[in-house]
């Protein structure tokens, strides 16, 4: 498994101040920890879906998994992104 290097670099560039740089080793650690986080989150969301007798992981399963992993501070932002996504899908 891997994350697209260009995508990770773009995200890092957006976060960093313009006078800072990121070493290849630091970028590699970010990529590996991101992969690990995604694997843990998706596994837990899968468990949540399974406990609801669902075969598809829904946003509420991801939100429950984030709460379980004690990442509740991300939930309001993600819920807002979900609202915006659903709104953009209605327009299409």
List pLDDT tens digits, range 68-82.
Answer: 999 999 999 999 999
Positions of the chain with pLDDT under 70: 1-3, 92
The pLDDT value recorded for residue 82 is 93
Return the pLDDT at 3: 67
Q: What is the pLDDT of residue 21?
A: 82
Report the pLDDT value the prediction gives residue 89, as an integer from 0 to 100: 86
User: According to the model, what pLDDT value does residue 12 have?
Assistant: 81
Q: What letters, b where the CB count within 10 A reaches 16 and e where it falls short, cover 17-39? A: eeeeeeeeeeeeebbeeeeeeee
The pTM is what?
0.78
């Amino acid at each position: 498994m891997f994350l697209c290097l260009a995508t990770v670099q773009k995200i890092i560039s957006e976060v960093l101040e313009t006078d800072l740089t990121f070493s290849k080793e630091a970028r590699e650690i970010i990529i590996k920890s991101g992969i690990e986080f995604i694997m843990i989150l998706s596994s837990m969301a899968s468990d949540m879906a399974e406990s609801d007798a669902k075969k598809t992981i829904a946003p509420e399963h991801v939100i429950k998994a984030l709460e379980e992993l004690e990442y509740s501070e991300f939930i309001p932002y993600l819920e807002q992104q979900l609202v915006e996504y659903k709104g953009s899908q209605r327009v299409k």
